[in-house]
Amino acid sequence: MKIMIKLQIYYIEKRIKMDSYEYSETIKELETKLDNIEKIVNPEKLEKKLKEIDEIENRVDFWNNPKEVAKIQKEKNIILRKLNKYKEAKQALNDNKDMYELASLEEDRETLEEVFKEINELKKRIKE
- pLDDT the model gives residue 5: 56
What are 4-44's pLDDT values in tens digits? Answer: 555 455 555 555 554 778 888 999 999 999 999 999 999 99
What are 79-118's pLDDT values in tens digits? Answer: 999 999 999 999 999 999 999 999 989 988 888 888 988 8
Give, as one character, the DSSP assignment of residue 59: S
What single-letter amino acid sits at 99? M
Name the band, by pLDDT with cuts 50, 70 and 90, for residue 52: very high
> Which H helix or E strand runs over 63?
none
Residues 6+ apart with CB under 8 A from 104: 20, 112
In the chain, where are the structural domains located? 23-127
Give, as one character, the DSSP assignment of residue 71: H
- pLDDT the model gives residue 22: 87
CATH class of segment(s) 23-127: mainly alpha
- pLDDT the model gives residue 54: 95
CA atoms within 13 A on the CB side of 22: 14
The answer to whether 33 and 126 have CB atoms below 8 angstroms apart is yes
- pLDDT the model gives residue 23: 87
Angle at the Cα of 38 (from 33 to 39), degrees rounded to 5? 100
Taking the model in full, what pTM does it have?
A: 0.76
